[in-house]
Amino acid sequence: MWNTVTHDSIVENIGNSFQIGNTGHSYLISGEISVGKTTLAFDMARMFNCESNDKPCSSCTQCVRIDRNVHSDVRYLVPNSSTDFIGINHVKELKSEVYLKPYEGKNRIIIIDQIHRLTKEASNSLLKILEEPPENVIFILLTNKFKSVLPTIVSRCRIFQLKPTSRDVISLHVTNNFSINNEMVKEISAISEGRLGWAIKASNDFQIVENLKKEIIEINDIFNSGIDEKFKYIDNLASEFSSDRNSLPMKLQLWIDFLRDLIFYKSGFKERLKFSIMQKNYQIIDSQISYSEIVKLIVNLDSIIQYFDNNINPKLLLERFVLDLPEIRKSFNGI
């Protein structure tokens, strides 16, 4: 039984290839955050080690141990929490493992999340393993930034691109699996943007949605504020970034979501709004900013986010961004 849902054609492709003995040594799964990459990777790990005829079965010893994250032949590697990179020492540790025979399963599975966060040294070291892969070792590499993955690594992998699903599919899944009211279902479906993994997390913890709503309100307030408040906000963002490198890209993505909503509102596509609760706010801003100004702001934010990968201090870039924000004559808090 596959835990992966909404990616049926990819699941069928992988399953069919496995059944005819056409198994690769390395796979690259790309897609947005919380779209289902990790779930698919562990489904594949179970399939490659499952003891039943119908793989993965979810009930044999191999599948159960993988589900419980206690299988000695399945390794899940993520970036270092302090540096946000996967360094050469991580890959050296892998080298000491991959040339050993599997201990309890048929195959040793190495899942590396955010493969684009490998340092140059680590990438080159991993590439040498992928060029001459050991027997019974399968690499499953995950990324939400496909273009940032070393091309030579990409060329060694079978590639699967996971795409977001529709709001209707998200809504149906949430309705069928969680006891929550219709308004919350609509909100989760809109904010998820087709990412089922995120929708499931939000359905289990409503505070996730409430926190996002608070942040989008704060963005609206800053958008409508004076220059002093804007620079104070940037100081706080820069301070957060120094202690948590993941916090700033997420907040800037929310800024992009806010600006994209403005475009939808201006275009009359109110049904496509991610944060429909902000319509009164968008109405006030609408006449005071042009399409070209919004697009310019989004492009600038995209550029700033890209700079994070180059380890550049973002404060000056953020200050320049807020200076480009239009002066809004009146603010309105509609929540």
CA–CA separation, 106 and 144 (whole Å): 29
Average of per-residue pLDDT values in the chain? 91
pLDDT given at position 238: 83
Q: Which of 53, 75, 77, 49 is closest to 63 using CA atoms?
A: 49
Give the pLDDT confidence of 164-214 residue by residue, as tens digits: 999 999 999 999 999 999 999 999 999 999 999 999 999 999 999 999 999
| Torsion angles phi and psi, residue 29, rounded to 5 | -110, 120
Provide the residue type at 82 as one letter.
S
Alpha-carbon gap, residue 187 to 206, rounded angstroms: 11
> Is the per-residue pLDDT at 107 higher than 70?
yes
Average pLDDT over residues 233-238: 88
Nearest CA-CA partner of 165 in 56, 301, 10? 10
- Kindly report the number of other CB atoms within 10 A of residue 248's CB atom: 19
d(CA 249, CA 254): 9
Whether the per-residue pLDDT at 121 is higher than 50: the answer is: yes
Radius of gyration of the chain (CA): 22
What is the sign of the dihedral through the CA atoms of 52, 58, 62 and 64? negative
Considering only CA atoms, which of 12, 48, 53 is closest in space to residue 139?
Answer: 48
What would the pLDDT profile of 53-70 be if each residue is shown by its tens digit? Answer: 999 998 999 999 999 999
| Residue appearing with tokens 């493969």 | 115
User: For residue 330, what pLDDT is reported?
Assistant: 60
pLDDT over 50 at 11, yes or no: yes
pLDDT value, residue 201: 95
Distances (CA, A) of 145 to 21, 32, 113, 149, 150: 30, 8, 11, 7, 11
Backbone angles phi, psi at 100, to 5 degrees: -90, 150
SS (H, E, C) the chain: CCCCCCCHHHHHHHHHHHHCCCCCCEEEEECCCCCCHHHHHHHHHHHHHCCCCCCCCCCCHHHHHHHCCCCCCEEEECCCCCCCCECHHHHHHHHHHHCCCCCCCCCEEEEECCHHHECHHHHHHHHHHHHCCCCCEEEEEEECCHHHCCHHHHCCCEEEECCCCCHHHHHHHHHHHCCCCHHHHHHHHHHHCCCHHHHHHHHHCCHHHHHHHHHHHHHHHHHCCCHHHHHHHHHHHHHHHHHCCCHHHHHHHHHHHHHHHHHHHHHCCHHHCCCHHHHHHHHHHHCCCCHHHHHHHHHHHHHHHHHHCCCCCCHHHHHHHHHCCCCCCCCCCCC
Domains detected in the chain: 8-161 (3.40.50.300), 206-323 (no CATH)
CA angle 189, 28, 161 (to 5 degrees): 40
Structure confidence at residue 311 (pLDDT):
61
Structure tokens at 146: 């496909």
pLDDT at 132 over 70: yes
CA–CA separation, 26 vs 157, rounded Å? 5
Indicate if the pLDDT at residue 261 is higher than 80. yes
pLDDT band at 331 (very low <50, low <70, confident <90, very high): very low
When pLDDT is cut at 50, 70 and 90, the band that residue 335 belongs to is: very low
pLDDT of residue 309: 59
